[in-house]
């Protein structure tokens, strides 16, 4: 297998990965991949946005730090999400990392209840920092970001986001999604 690194220039704002396209055989099925990923525990986040495209939010575990220079993280979003058009139109998002006390927000923002998009925000205490994206006041941590680059990969867009403000209050009990269930983790000490 030939590994081809993807090189970004500052001017490149939107690109598409061609991995897995065409007639190449896929050695691991979608089902096997999803089963394997269920063993990979991850923090639970609500990704929010607001602006000309409207207010929206969805639950995401595919969030990762890219670099601290400049402070940048990535978020992977399914282009079929109801929040996706607003994310693209607004160009800003906030990563709200949930605490143990916020577990009910996860299915709410994952579209697993019958709430409308706007009604999702009736739960939780929301305010704004730098970009105008909704920030959960008592989140474990919140990263208020401007979307800098977008890479299409299969069904998802990878948003590379520059962090414009951080909200980090006291250390709370954390929330992890692992083996298709929620787990609370206590801070040491």
Ligand X SMILES: Cc1cc2nc3c(=O)[nH]c(=O)nc-3n(C[C@H](O)[C@H](O)[C@H](O)COP(=O)(O)O)c2cc1C
Give residues in contact with ligand X (CB under 6 A): 44, 58-62, 76-78, 81-83, 106, 110-111, 177
Pick the closer one to ligand X by CB: 62 or 130. Answer: 62
**Rounded to the nearest whole angstrom, what is the least distance from the CB of residue 63 to ligand X in the complex?**
7
**Residue number with CB closer to ligand X (102 or 172):** 102
CB of 30 to ligand X, least distance (A): 15
**Separation CA 109–CA 60 (nearest Å):** 9
Distance (Å, whole) CA 168 – CA 71: 15
The CB-of-44 to ligand X minimum distance in angstroms stands at 5
For the CB of residue 54, give the shortest distance to ligand X in the complex, in Å. Answer: 13
Nearer to ligand X, 120 or 172 (CB): 120
CB closer to ligand X out of 146 and 183:
183
């Amino acid at each position: 297998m030939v590994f081809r690194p993807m090189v970004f220039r500052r001017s490149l704002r939107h690109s598409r990965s061609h991995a897995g396209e065409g007639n190449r055989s896929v050695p691991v099925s979608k089902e096997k991949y999803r089963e394997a990923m269920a063993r990979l525990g991850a923090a639970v986040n609500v990704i929010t946005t607001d602006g000309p495209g409207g207010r929206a939010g969805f639950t995401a575990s595919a969030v990762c730090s890219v670099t601290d220079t400049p402070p940048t993280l990535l978020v992977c979003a399914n282009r079929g999400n109801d929040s996706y058009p607003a994310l693209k139109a607004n160009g800003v998002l906030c990563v709200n990392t949930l605490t143990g006390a916020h577990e009910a927000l996860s299915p709410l923002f994952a579209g697993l209840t019958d709430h409308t998009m706007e009604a999702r925000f009736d739960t939780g205490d929301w305010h704004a920092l730098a970009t105008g994206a909704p920030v959960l006041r008592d989140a474990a941590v919140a990263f208020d970001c401007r979307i800098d680059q977008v890479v299409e990969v299969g069904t998802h867009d990878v948003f590379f986001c520059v962090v414009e403000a951080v909200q980090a209050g006291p250390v709370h009990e954390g929330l992890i999604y692992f083996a298709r269930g929620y787990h609370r983790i206590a801070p040491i000490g």
